[in-house]
Every structure is written in structure tokens, then in C-alpha cells.
């Protein structure tokens, strides 16, 4: 289902039900897909769940400020993207602090070695290694099934930029995954 169709599903619900009913229904129907979206951006299930929870809390707190109660799914999706960006910024600042202080050497376990060989895990690492814009475009286009225009609107960029970031991301992934030879 594309992003536009999802919003259309929520529109009639938001106009005829209370805030709590709409948010509860939205949570039940879209929590799992929002966690998948956040996981693709963050790479950690717990952090993804926290980001989605915070997005739903934000929706509840800001309900009266929303201009269009029919666009609550788009609001939550944008809030999830913003939560993920904020978490990534905090993580980068934390890594810089650790690098400055000097981090202890990590011990690689046999489980970590086995997981690193898994193809899905490799792809996830490759996606997380992409620049944020490319990663966001891939998530919107291929995980959420959004069109180029919907992706451009969601990420506040032009359709041409969406095409360019998609092309670069796919080329980088092909090289990393060994298909670009």
C-alpha cells in the first residue's frame, strides 16, 4: 500500500472519532510497520520501538495543533523519521566523546561472527552505512512503497534528488554486497 493510500484509510476515521480512538486504532494498525521503518534507519529494535512510541506520544500531545486530522499517519511517519534523526545525532555525539576518551577494545563472540555472515545482516549493515539521505530515500521507496513524488514530499527534497539518492544508494549497495563487479 503506498503512502497516499495509507493516509486515505485514516482520513474518515479521524473525522468521526475521538482523538484517543483514532490514535489507538492508528497504533494497532501501523505500530509494526513504523517499527520496521525505524529499525531500517536505526538498526536496533529497542531504539526503533522507543522512537515509534515517542512519535505516538507526540501525536497525542500535539493533536490540537494539527491542521489536518486526516493526515495523522503522515504526521506519525514524519515524527518517526525525526526521532530517528535525533537519535542518530546523539549517537554520533556519543561516539565522538568515546573516541576522545578512548574506548576499550570490543570482544567478538562466536554469535557475532555467525550473524555477520548472514546475508540479511550484511544488507542491513550496508544500508546503515549509507548517508542519511540515501538511507531515508531507500526506506521510503522500497520499504514503505512510496512513489518518488511522495518520497520527495516526505523528505523535503525534489523528485530529482530522490532519483539521484536512489541511484547512488543502489549502486553503493551493489558494490558492498558483491553484485557490482
C-beta neighbour count of 170 within 10 angstroms: 18
What pLDDT, on the 0 to 100 scale, is given for residue 52? 93
Question: How far apart (Å, rounded) are the C-alpha atoms in residues 1 and 4?
Answer: 8
Do 33 and 97 belong to one domain?
A: yes
> 1 falls in which pLDDT band (50, 70, 90)?
very low
pLDDT reported for residue 181: 46
Q: Are residues 42 and 124 in the same domain?
A: no
Q: Which CATH number belongs to the domain containing residue 63 in this structure?
A: 1.10.1740
What is the spatial distance between Cα 61 and Cα 20, in angstroms, rounded to a whole number? 11
Range of the domain at 84: 1-104
> 92 or 53, which is more confident?
53
- Give CA torsion, residues 130, 136, 140, 144, to 10 deg: 80
CA 105 to chain centre: 30
Specify the higher pLDDT residue, 43 or 4.
Answer: 43
The Cα-based distances of 70 to 7, 8, 78, 135, 177 in angstroms read: 7, 8, 14, 27, 41
Indicate whether 33 and 122 sit together in one domain. Answer: no
Q: Please write the tens of the pLDDT for every residue from 65-97.
A: 888 877 888 889 989 998 888 888 777 766 665
Identify the domain boundary among 64, 83, 104. Answer: 104
Question: Does residue 181 lie within any of the structural domains?
Answer: no
Same domain as 121, residue 44: no
For residue 97, give the C-alpha cell. Answer: 566523546
Question: Using one digit for the tens of pLDDT, what is the confidence trace for 7-51?
Answer: 434 445 445 678 888 889 989 999 999 998 888 888 888 889 999
Asked if residue 161 belongs to a domain, the reply is yes
| Whether the Cβ atoms of residue 58 and residue 3 lie closer than 8 Å to each other | no
Please indicate, yes or no, if residue 67 is contained in any of the structural domains: yes
Which tens digit of pLDDT belongs to each residue from 119-159?
666 778 888 889 989 999 988 888 888 899 999 998 899 99
Average pLDDT over residues 148-175: 92
pLDDT of amino acid 22: 87
Whole-structure pTM value: 0.54
Q: Determine, yes or no, domain membership for 180.
A: no
The residue behind cell 549497495 is 173
Q: How many domains does the chain have?
A: 2
Amino acid at each position: 500500500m503506498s503512502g497516499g493510500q495509507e493516509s486515505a484509510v485514516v482520513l474518515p476515521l479521524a473525522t468521526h472519532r475521538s482523538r484517543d480512538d483514532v490514535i489507538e486504532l492508528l497504533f494497532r494498525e501501523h505500530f509494526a510497520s513504523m517499527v520496521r521503518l525505524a529499525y531500517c534507519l536505526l538498526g536496533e529494535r529497542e531504539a526503533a520501538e522507543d522512537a515509534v512510541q515517542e512519535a505516538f506520544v507526540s501525536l497525542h500531545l500535539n493533536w490540537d495543533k494539527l491542521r489536518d486530522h486526516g493526515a495523522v499517519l503522515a504526521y506519525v511517519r514524519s515524527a518517526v523519521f525525526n526521532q530517528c534523526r535525533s537519535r542518530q545525532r546523539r549517537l554520533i555525539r556519543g561516539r565522538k566523546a568515546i573516541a576522545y576518551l578512548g574506548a576499550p577494545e570490543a570482544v567478538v563472540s562466536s554469535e557475532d561472527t555467525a550473524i555477520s555472515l548472514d546475508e540479511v545482516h550484511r544488507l542491513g549493515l550496508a544500508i546503515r552505512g549509507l548517508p542519511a539521505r540515501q538511507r531515508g530515500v531507500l526506506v521510503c521507496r522500497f520499504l514503505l512503497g512510496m512513489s518518488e513524488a511522495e518520497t520527495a514530499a516526505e523528505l523535503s527534497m525534489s523528485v530529482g534528488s530522490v532519483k539521484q539518492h536512489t541511484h547512488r544508494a543502489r549502486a553503493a549497495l551493489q558494490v558492498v554486497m558483491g553484485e557490482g563487479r
